[in-house]
Amino acid sequence: MTSEIAIIGAGIAGLAAARKLRAAGLACSLFDKSRGLGGRMATRRTGDWQFDHGAQYFTARGPRFRALVEQWRGAGDAAEWFDGAFVGLPGMSAPARAMAADMTLITSCAVTALRRDGTQWTVLTADGPVDTPANGRFDAVILALPAPQILPIAASAGLSFPELEKVRYAPCWTLMLGFAAPLAWREQYVRPEDGVVGWIARNASKPGRPPGKETLVAQATADWSRRHLEGSAEAIGATLLAQVQSAIGLQATPDFMTAHRWRYALVEQAADKLCLWDGMVRLAACGDWCVGPRVEAAFDSGEAAADAVLHG
């Protein structure tokens, strides 16, 4: 039985893996390049503004994830927004923080490579080994990252997963708009049928959001985002603002505006396996890219990776 596990990526897949491993009595260290947790279950806070700028909601179909969602709801970490669509409280990252309670987290840490010495693993950044007590004696590693980010890290250890080559993502440009006064547009969300914007949501319509200020989140379509992936945030923001104004008849001038680029927003082609596992060196890879573009898919994949470590 392994005793020290490194998990690279503190999104829902990595947190699900850590949660299951800890329940089995194993010690886990989670590494993430961001300051926060949850991956695309993300909440952007800038001054008094708050935006759910990644995943807009999540659903729960399987019994294990449904049970976890009910725990979140009971603890005040999630609520239903509409018809089986749930959101975190007070932001989308709240469920991730609940999952990470009392876990060993190393954030703002961009892992670039792995080194295997005998039967144990060392986690490295561009500056060398990460300075954490368990480093250098990890018995197994779980890579809970977008598939393109897994490839170079696995290659650094002389490993490859052919299944990763088939995975395809759609990017997404996201526009965040803040208004000091309430808007005339009062819908929860809309999916425009034409134009370059595929989704517009009114954050204030979600339960538990801060009162007073109005915030909108608009997401461009995959095709448009792909064509303009390397555009400047300023130019992208101006284009998307005009599209939002046209789509919902918005006349108010935003008091805050910024655009965010998600390179790996939506899985278009999955690996069609719950997780990947190399039992010879005890390394797993997981994420929503394994089975499909849903938060629950990331959870299921993370649990499958934990099972591989426990029983593989």
Per-residue DSSP letters for 241-285? HHHHHHHHT--SPPSEEEEEEEEEEEEEE--SSS-EEETTTTEEE
Torsion, Cα of 55, 56, 61, 67 (10° steps)? 90
Residue-level pLDDT at 1 = 46
CA distance 304 to 287: 10
CA-CA-CA-CA torsion sign (189, 190, 191, 194) = negative
Locate tokens 């395809």: which residue?
168
CA 309/CA 170 separation, integer angstroms: 30
- Alpha carbon of residue 59 to chain centroid: 15
Taking the C-alpha atoms of residue 20 and residue 307, their distance in angstroms, rounded to an integer, is 8
| Torsion sign (Cα): 74, 78, 83, 85 | negative
Low-confidence ranges of the chain (pLDDT < 70): 1-2
Dihedrals φ, ψ of 32, to 5°?
Answer: -145, 140
Indicate whether 105 and 241 sit together in one domain: no
Where do we find the tokens 């007070």? Answer: 90
Residue 66 confidence (pLDDT): 98
Q: Give yes or no: residues 232 and 196 share one domain.
A: yes
| Statement to judge: residues 141 and 180 lie in one domain | no
| Total structural domains within the chain | 2
Identify whether residues 282 and 207 lie together within a single domain.
no
Pair 269, 222: CB distance under 8 Å: no
Would you state the pLDDT for residue 211? 79
22 and 125 share one domain: yes
Count of Cβ atoms closer than 10 Å to residue 149 Cβ:
18
Distance CA 270, CA 128 (A): 33
* Residue 228 Cα distances to 55, 161, 238, 242, angstroms: 21, 30, 13, 16
Contact 152, 16 (CB under 8 A): no
Element (H, E) at 112: none
Residues 203 and 265 in one domain: yes
Q: Are strands 44-46 and 49-51 parallel, antiparallel or unpaired?
A: antiparallel
Q: What is the CATH number of the domain that holds 228?
A: 3.90.660.10
Measured CA to CA, the distance from residue 210 to residue 204 in angstroms comes to 7
Q: Say which DSSP state 162 is in.
A: G
Supply the pLDDT for residue 87. 98
Are 27 and 49 found together in one domain? no
Please answer whether residues 149 and 14 qualify as being in contact, where contact means their C-beta atoms are separated by less than 8 angstroms.
Answer: no
C-alpha–C-alpha distance, residues 126 and 117, integer Å: 19
pLDDT score of 195: 87
Task: Assess whether 188 and 257 both reside in one domain.
Answer: yes
> Which domain, by its residues, includes 184?
41-94+168-269
